[in-house]
A and B are shown apart, each in its own frame.
Chain A
Amino acid sequence: MRVWLIFIAAGIGTYLIRLSGVLLLSDEERIPLPVRRALRMVGPAAIGAIIVSALFLDHGQWRAFGAWHLAALVAIGVAVWKRSMGWSMLAGAVAFAALLLAGL
């Protein structure tokens, strides 16, 4: 039951955020610049936090160095080089599979 309530509360909050501008604003310029700046950083901050946490931590402890880190490096390298989501995922997945097969 608790799980349901958490998802429903997050869902309602998220829906209200999605509606906010569409219902209340007629022009992006009406959001004050500092707020717009902060909102623009939410994506990199949130996604970066999730990447770092998943990559370096395992249940609150440091993850032992290995396939996770190396394959992530490959994915990041290809992402910077190709600027492509698809190539980055493919390279990272192939590298990870190869590293696991190699016993890392």
Chain B
Amino acid sequence: MTDPAAAPRGRAVLGIGRLQWADSWAGLKAISPLLIGSAAFGLAFGALVDVAGINPWAGASASVIVVAGASQIAIVEAMRANAPALIAVLTGVLINARFALYSAALAPVWAEFPLRWKLLLSYLMTDQSAVTSLQWAERYPDPVRRRWFTLGGAVPFVGVWVLGTVAGILLGPVIPTSWQIGFIVPLMFIAVLVPGLRRPAELVTLAVAAGVVLAARGLPYGLNILFGIIAGIIAGAAWETLADAHARRRGTPPGERGTEAETAT
């Protein structure tokens, strides 16, 4: 871990000052453990695009246009199920509704950034880069240095995601079907979701979403996914509300236990 105050000063490179390069580099280092996951996830999405027979250019562009893996996978699955465009879009946007939470949490952290930086960094916002920016904010009190730090993590993270997608699309036809590469989808999401699960409400959400997805499997267009997500959200939020009311009756302070955003991709 580098001490931000000890960053070097000196000549500009590519019109960007040395200190800015150093701060960006620190941002890259902070996010680097997650880069392999980003690339592997891109690879999985690219392979899925190939399997689903989607126009490879559109599939690769999706990683630049949407920049959110879970939603892209759900959209591709909905398209495979011949869903109407509206349902595919709705499913994807609903999955990405969680970014509203990161955006709200980052608002005070990014408050002093110029508008064009807010526009750019919001485009690059992912679960991982948002969490990193939140966790490191205090170590970068200067807004200029903070924005370069954030950019330095966000750009490579999205970069390897896009490169991974392209690699997955190119390699897809080469990988034998007997390898059942599709297993990467549940595996990746298990690895993303399960280690961070702690709150009972999350388990309620998970159980209800799973139950609805399976019970409604006969529905067309991948609607079982959409309904499962909605049912899970309602159940989890209701559980938290009841648990809070219960805690309040027993005299425990009501609760915002943990305001940090959940980890997901």
Chain A positions within 8 Å of B, measured between CB atoms, are: 2-11, 13-15, 17-28, 30-31, 33-34, 36-57, 60-61, 67-68, 71-72, 75-76, 79-80, 82-86, 88-89, 92-93, 96, 100
* B94 interface hit (Cβ, 8 Å): yes
> Which one of A24, A26, A49, A71 contacts B232 once the chains associate, using CB atoms below 8 Å?
A49
CB pair B195–A83 under 8 Å, yes or no, is yes
Contacts of B188 in A (CB 8 A): 89
The closest CB in chain B to the CB of A33 belongs to B256
B16 to A: closest C-beta gap in Å: 23
Q: A3-B54, A15-B123 are in contact. Are A79 and B65 (CB under 8 A)?
A: no
Bound Cα distance A61, B92 (Å): 23
Bound Cα distance A11, B174 (Å): 29
* B166 interface hit (Cβ, 8 Å): no
> Which one of A52, A71, A76, A85 contacts B213 once the chains associate, using CB atoms below 8 Å?
A52
* B247 interface hit (Cβ, 8 Å): no
CB pair A45–B107 under 8 Å, yes or no, is no
* B37 interface hit (Cβ, 8 Å): yes
CB pair A37–B264 under 8 Å, yes or no, is no
A11 to B: closest C-beta gap in Å: 4
Contacts of A49 in B (CB 8 A): 209-210, 212-213, 225, 228-229, 232
Bound Cα distance A95, B81 (Å): 30
Q: Is the interface of B mostly helix, strand, loop or mixed?
A: helix
| Total A-B contacts with CB atoms under 8 angstroms apart | 288
* B40 interface hit (Cβ, 8 Å): yes
Bound Cα distance A2, B70 (Å): 20
Bound Cα distance A46, B70 (Å): 8
Interface 1/0 per residue, B148-177 and A, CB below 8 Å: 000000000000000000000000000000
> Which one of B93, B108, B179, B222 contacts A14 once the chains associate, using CB atoms below 8 Å?
B93
17 further A-B pairs in the complex, CB-CB below 8 A; given A45-B205, A45-B228, A49-B212: A2-B85, A9-B85, A10-B66, A20-B100, A21-B102, A21-B107, A40-B262, A44-B193, A44-B262, A45-B236, A50-B186, A51-B210, A53-B213, A76-B194, A85-B191, A88-B190, A96-B187
Q: A7-B75, A23-B118, A44-B236 are in contact. Are A72 and B190 (CB under 8 A)?
A: yes
Interface size on B, residues (CB 8 A): 100
Q: A51-B190, A52-B209 are in contact. Are A43 and B61 (CB under 8 A)?
A: no
Contacts of A24 in B (CB 8 A): 107
The closest CB in chain B to the CB of A30 belongs to B104
Contacts of B137 in A (CB 8 A): none
Interface 1/0 per residue, B74-107 and A, CB below 8 Å: 1101010100010011001111111111111111
21 A–B contacts from the bound complex (CB under 8 Å): A6-B79, A10-B65, A13-B96, A18-B123, A18-B125, A21-B100, A22-B121, A25-B103, A25-B107, A34-B237, A38-B234, A38-B237, A42-B95, A44-B264, A46-B98, A48-B206, A52-B214, A53-B224, A86-B37, A86-B191, A88-B195
* B7 interface hit (Cβ, 8 Å): no
> Which one of B54, B191, B232 contacts A89 once the chains associate, using CB atoms below 8 Å?
B191
CB pair B107–A54 under 8 Å, yes or no, is no
A16 to B: closest C-beta gap in Å: 9
Contacts of B201 in A (CB 8 A): 41
CB pair B241–A51 under 8 Å, yes or no, is no
The closest CB in chain B to the CB of A19 belongs to B122
